[in-house]
Amino acid sequence: MHASSAACRRVKGERHFPVDKPGQIAASMIHYILQNIATVMLRPIEIILSQGRIGDRTSGAIPGAAALAHALSHRHTLPMTTLGNPAPPCIDNWDRALEGAEQTLHELAHAVEQSLSAKRLPLVIANTCSASLATLPAATRQLDNLAVLWIDAHGDFNTPETTASGYLGGMALSGASGIWNTGHGGGVTPERTLLIGARDIDPSEATLLQTAGIQVISPTEAIGADIARRIGSDPVWIHIDWDVLEPGFVPAAYRIEGGFLPDELQAILATIPASQIAGIELAELELPDDPVAAERAIHTAMATVAMLFG
């Protein structure tokens, strides 16, 4: 994408994604994460659903987050907090997007802080990675020595000075790390952050990542045991952008070749002890346009996780 003007331009078209297996694979990923937690069940799971526009440039992320969250909540009797009011996507620069997302971001931060302080496990289902501008700083205010697994095809480590696209989501991890002032705090320790599955990183962004001390692990280099060793015994926040997978498995806003196969990512997640998982964030799932495909995806997800809740 190219840098955009300050004015917001409505998105005219919609992306189309392969939908052969989106619900099945998304459900499989969520199935593993929730199953891993359920084996210990130290804390009850609480869904925090983001529905306000936080830099969205595509039309499917807000309804995708809602469909997934409502299905999980209804079928498994998980409590859910819904934040923000849906708004149409548009292509605007990061500063205007941040201003427009102010209220939703504040609400997300408050919800995460409340969930953690009540000894619950927040499962944030977000429309875009921009949610992490609020959720991650909130988590670091509640948890000492928090490690972050940022599982994403992108680094999301650009700054106002380096971004070529002006996309707020592409600056989420750097903002949460205090590299630039978002107005929502920082707190993430770069040296305690693993960027896993990244394969589309801008040159200036790569320099920032190296300078900050972020550990970047490509899909071909990712080994679960090694990742677990790097985390150590500290609490872990897991952020997953669905574009980390090879295109064709889960619909996402960006299609970056060379990603994980679903079972490869599951193998990595399997090495993380449930007792260390402090929070989970699932972002950027684009709901298929075809109603039949969308219904199939959600029903597959519900069927996959049904046995976890009796």
Average pLDDT of the segment spanning 271-295 = 86
DSSP 8-state code for residue 245: B
Q: Which residue has the tokens 């459900």?
A: 27
Residue 33 pLDDT > 80 = no
pLDDT band at 17 (very low <50, low <70, confident <90, very high): very low
Distance CA 14, CA 99 (A): 24
Average pLDDT of the segment spanning 155-168 = 98
Residue 307, CB half-sphere, CA atoms under 13 Å: how many?
7
Spell out the domains of the chain, with CATH numbers in brackets.
16-309 (3.40.800.10)
Residue 36 pLDDT > 60 = no
Residue 105 tokens, joined: 């971001």
Average pLDDT of the segment spanning 191-206 = 97
Q: Which residues fall within 8 angstroms of residue 6, CB to CB, at 6 or more apart? A: 92, 93, 95, 96
* Distance, C-alpha 5 to centroid of its chain: 26
Residue 309 pLDDT > 70 = no
pTM for this entry: 0.86
Distance CA 82, CA 52 (A): 9
Residue 3 pLDDT > 60 = no
57-113 residue pLDDT tens: 999 999 989 988 988 788 778 899 999 999 999 999 999 999 999 999 999 999 999
H-state helical runs in the chain: 22-38, 61-76, 94-100, 102-117, 132-142, 172-176, 203-212, 224-231, 262-269, 291-305
pLDDT band at 264 (very low <50, low <70, confident <90, very high): confident
Residue 117 pLDDT > 90 = yes
pLDDT band at 55 (very low <50, low <70, confident <90, very high): very high
Residue 14 pLDDT > 50 = no
Q: Which residues fall within 8 angstroms of residue 49, CB to CB, at 6 or more apart? A: 65, 66, 69, 70, 80, 81, 82, 83, 125
Helix (H) or strand (E) holding 124: strand 121-126
Q: Which residue has the higher pLDDT, 294 or 235?
A: 235
- Find the angle CA(136)-CA(32)-CA(153) to the nearest 5 degrees: 50
